[in-house]
Amino acid sequence: MGLFFDPFDNLLCILLGISFTVWFTLLLVFIIVPAIFGVSFGIRRLYMKSLLKIFEWATLRIERGAKEKNHLLYKPYSNAIIAKEPTSLEEEIKEIRRSGSNRDLDSASEFEMSDIFYFARRGVESIMDDEVTKRFSAEELESWNLLTRSNYNFHYISLRLTVLWGLGVLIRYGFLLPLRVTLAFTGVGLLVFLTSIIGLLPNGRMKNFLSEKVHLMCYRICVRALTAIITYHDRENKPKNGGICVANHTSPIDVIILASDGCYAMVGQIHGGLMGVIQRSMVKACPHIWFERSEVKDRHLVAKRLSDHVEDKSKLPILIFPEGTCINNTSVMMFKKGSFEIGSTVYPVAIKYDPRFGDAFWNSSKFGMVNYLLRMMSSWAIVCSVWYLPPMCREEGEDAVQFANRVKAAIARQGGLVDLLWDGGLKRGKVKDTFKEEQQKLYSKMLVGTQEDRSRS
């Protein structure tokens, strides 16, 4: 019996050995070496095109399935579901009053019981559909991309589609996920290791040069670890030393996407654990700006460190996400004015993800970081476009808030995102009372204003 099993065991070992070697060679040749030199074979783009064709087919089958059963499909609409008129408080209330009275407008009364209609309707409109809360959850897709997480109609799936979906699961979890995890570990490991070595060198041109190369290489490996297919536009506007780069924020992956195309000084809070290890070794090779937990609250300290950094022209441009939190990539929310007060050139960058291949938005109240990364690595791909916008400076007579809004409008326009004035902090916090007070003031003017006219006549 023993004799029977031994040669079989040997054969198994040999086969395993060969497949491992082949696996690692392929990995090295097709992924790691191009990452080091910044070239691409175009495999990912081909992959993207074939996936799109499959998704179209899948959507058609679902529609056919629903028609057969004579049911209506759930069609998500990312735009508004109700008609909202953009009229102001004053205009609308005047209209309501006009329709209700046959008195002439000069002696219009100060208060009508029908005024309440305006507030009631606006209130119920916001209950049916509001501009803010939908920005904090993943965008709904119109076609199905073979991921259960984005399916709303799954009882219309035919057998063929189920088989395809099953195949998709096998490929994603059996092949892509292990591949990506390996690459991720390689990338991060190399980053920590090499930056620590470079940290031992004396400060100078050699150190900066090597640090740049190492950072770029490791970020490129991480990009491949996510199968991120990125299209960069207008690279002539890339941020230069002494400037501040601002971008809209959708997920922590934004950092990897931008840093694989250029070198930036990162800003952030020092964490514990693995994140902290990475941060501490990165700062050995080139000056990033990490804050202790306690220092983050001190706005003057933060502003001072940032302005010291930008004044030193030998240091890299700072990368900042002024929204302060992750938004779901359908809109841009209020930019915090801190980075716009410093007075250096601002280089805006717009990042737009294509949600068909995998939703990149990090819903931090729903998923932790590890869970999020696993979801990213088990979706098809991360496809996004990056636009480098022309640099902007604060103009005469413009304060930080106006400047911030101007930059935000430019980013929203380029990325095709909705420009909102609401604070991203509303994800977790309550809205400030000042907004309600503004509404009350507007309405009071309508009541009291007419009284002033009366006393005049």
Partner 1 sequence: MGSRASTLLREEEIEEIKKETGFSHSQITRLYSRFTSLDKGENGTLSREDFQRIPELAINPLGDRIINAFFPEGEDQVNFRGFMRTLAHFRPIEDNEKNKDPTASEPLNSRTNKLLFAFRLYDLDRDDKISRDELLQVLRMMVGVNISDEQLGSIADRTIQEADQNGDNSISFNEFIKVLEKVDVEQKMSIRFLH
Binding footprint of partner 1 on the chain (CB under 8 A): 71-77, 79-83, 95-96, 99-102, 109-111, 113-134, 137, 148-149, 151-155, 422, 426, 430-431, 435-441, 443-445, 447-448, 451
CB of 358 vs partner 1, minimal distance in Å: 16
How many beta carbons lie within 10 A of that of residue 435, not counting itself? 11
Residue 126 vs 237, nearer CB to partner 1: 126
Residue 63 vs 398, nearer CB to partner 1: 63
CB of 341 vs partner 1, minimal distance in Å: 26
The structure tokens 């480098």 sit at 388
Residue 30 vs 367, nearer CB to partner 1: 367
Residue 149 vs 413, nearer CB to partner 1: 149
User: Cα separation of 252 and 258, whole Å?
Assistant: 11
Residue 304 vs 445, nearer CB to partner 1: 445
CB of 291 within 8 A of CB of 268?
yes
> What are 92's two structure tokens?
């609308």
Residue 126 vs 182, nearer CB to partner 1: 126
> What are 103's two structure tokens?
């008195």
Residue 115 vs 254, nearer CB to partner 1: 115
* Closest of 299, 297, 289 to residue 319, by C-alpha: 289
Positive or negative: CA dihedral 248, 253, 257, 263 = positive
Residue 9 vs 452, nearer CB to partner 1: 452
Q: Where are the beta strands (DSSP E) in 344-420?
A: 346-354, 382-388, 418-419
Three-state DSSP at 331 gives strand
Classify residue 438 as left (phi > 0), alpha (psi -120 to 50) or beta.
alpha
* Closest of 219, 212, 210 to residue 191, by C-alpha: 219
How many beta carbons lie within 10 A of that of residue 232, not counting itself? 17
User: Cα separation of 438 and 175, whole Å?
Assistant: 56
Residue 18 vs 448, nearer CB to partner 1: 448
Tell me 163's DSSP state.
Answer: H
As beta bridge partners, residue 266 has: 319
Number of residues assigned to the chain: 457
Residues 6+ apart with CB under 8 A from 407: 246, 335, 340, 346, 348, 392
CB of 412 vs partner 1, minimal distance in Å: 19
Angle of helix 89-100 relative to helix 433-456, nearest 10 degrees? 50
Three-state DSSP at 89 gives helix
Tell me 324's DSSP state.
Answer: -
CB of 74 vs partner 1, minimal distance in Å: 4
CB of 123 vs partner 1, minimal distance in Å: 4
Residue 29 vs 124, nearer CB to partner 1: 124
